[in-house]
Amino acid sequence: MLEKKPKTPVNIISMDDREEYYLQLEEALAKKAKSLEKTEIRQLRDHFAAFESSVSTIYNFLLEKGQIQPDPYKNEYSATEIKVPSSALFKDKDAIQEISLRLSKYVSQWEYLVNLFHVSIINLDLKKIKLILELLEYIRWTDFSVNSTYFITKTTAEIVNRAAKRNGQLAERILTNSVSHLRELTVKIHHTLKILTDFLKEDYKFKVRKEVLSEMDINSEQYLKHPDTVIENLKFEFSHLMKGQGWYKELIHEMLEEDFGENRESRRELVLKKLEVKENKKVKKKTRGPDNKTILLGILGKIARAGDPVRDTILKMNNNAKVLQEQKKTLAERFSEILKSLFNKKETALYIKLGMKDALTGATRYETINYFRFSDSVVKKARTLIQLQDTSGSLYEKTKTATEEQLMEFIQRQINELKTIYRRLEGLNAYFLSDEIPEESRTLMKNTAMNIKSFKYILGDSLKAFNEFKIKKQEEEQLKKLGIED
């Protein structure tokens, strides 16, 4: 009688073995998160702001030229979550109305991502990344053509092309530049989101280990014999312990293979290697970076982005001012205005007293402005900034011929003027929404807080870049005095 050979015992993974890996994983995730906050997260914020600015430029241009209709609910609609507009087909007779509303919601979503959504590792998860990717692909800027197979992309491209042809070369260049910029930004955002997604997958698996797997009694023998049963049991526990979280079966399978699979050691090494933060060794280069003039032109480009939110804000406020003016007029004043218009006399001034709080002292300073004179100057300023966005236009070409000192003076003047404009716009918005306006008129007032926030972000970003440049220039001058070159 043949003697039975004893079965080779299945390697049952010990809890100590897993705990050691969990500690390594937790440390690696913490280091990676810290690194991503300094790199990819910062880049993503900048990319979102630039994307929103270009999208708003196109949207507001189409609106201004009558290619799309104003959204009557724009001021009432306030995004509180990431929500992709509908991509459903619509009938030709409803085309302009439907695409107008959808583009309005599309722009509002990007405004939400820039102004209200906190872009950070803690606030991102796989669900939100998926929604951001869907929003990013709502209009395929990388395939922006009237021949696109994507309905919304094709419809938007037709409207943009029509607007470009009907409004001259400057309009065509502005729209072309904006579309080109969005194409580049789409690729960059995709790349950044891919890096963040890889991290969030590992973070998700770690959370499942911590919240669910730690509460279950599973070993490698059970898993290797009955993997499907283990996954079903895990799913049941998951539905109670991580209710509301997404169930990603593929990631769950990866996690179990890393914890209990036959090739767990090699799988773990790959995970830890993927999370490893590479320290960039700073190597001194002999080659110079961009010269001062190139840096200044870049700062000017940042400032030019303020043109769109400034214009949008003042256009909405003009509506508020007209409502206020009509409300204030008596019958005699309206009759007088008709007589004045017959003799081509200028419109009666509208004086508004603004209370503006000093950021440093907290004291409130009052200023009375002639609204319509202020509005005219702001519209001109916005037009100049929008023209500066066109890098092939005459105004931008003129700045390229300026000296470094002239550029610095020009930038400083722009920043000073924009600071004043920002302060007054903020004061005006508060005034138009205040109790000083009768309730029947206040309901007709447009809230410009979102536009002003976009303006504030661009102004702050420009000011920071210019201050950094001035510090760098001072350091260079000090080194030159000491006889030290670059």
Residue 355's DSSP bridge partners are 366
Cα 175 to chain centroid, rounded: 19
Those residues of the chain that have pLDDT short of 50 are 1-13, 284-287, 330-335, 337-345
pLDDT, residue 15, reads 55
pTM value > 0.85: no
Torsion sign across C-alpha atoms 124, 125, 127, 131: positive
The interaxial angle of helices 249-260 and 15-38, nearest 10 deg, is: 130
pLDDT, residue 484, reads 62
Q: Over the stretch 181-217, which tens digit does the pLDDT of each residue have? A: 999 999 999 999 999 999 999 999 999 999 999 888 8
On whether the CB atoms of residues 392 and 174 are closer than 8 A, the answer is no
Tokens representing residue 28 in the block: 């690696």
Q: Whole-angstrom Cα distance, residue 372 to residue 167?
A: 27
Phi-psi region of 313 (alpha: psi -120 to 50; beta: other; left: phi over 0): alpha
pLDDT, residue 124, reads 94
**Buried/exposed code over 89-110 (b: 16+ C-beta within 10 A; e: otherwise):** eeeeeeebebbbbbbbbbbbbb
User: Which helix or strand (DSSP H or E) is residue 180 part of?
Assistant: helix 168-211
Torsion sign across C-alpha atoms 364, 369, 372, 376: negative
Q: Whole-angstrom Cα distance, residue 456 to residue 438?
A: 29
Q: Residue 401: CB partners within 8 Å, gap ≥ 6?
A: none
Residue in 328, 212, 421 with CA at minimum distance from that of residue 337? 328
| Local structure of 358: helix, strand or coil | coil
Question: Half-sphere exposure of 295 toward its Cβ, with a 13 Å CA cutoff?
Answer: 17
pLDDT, residue 83, reads 93
Torsion sign across C-alpha atoms 332, 433, 104, 41: positive
User: What beta strand segments (E) does 278-421 contain?
Assistant: 351-357, 364-370
User: What beta strand segments (E) does 254-399 contain?
Assistant: 351-357, 364-370
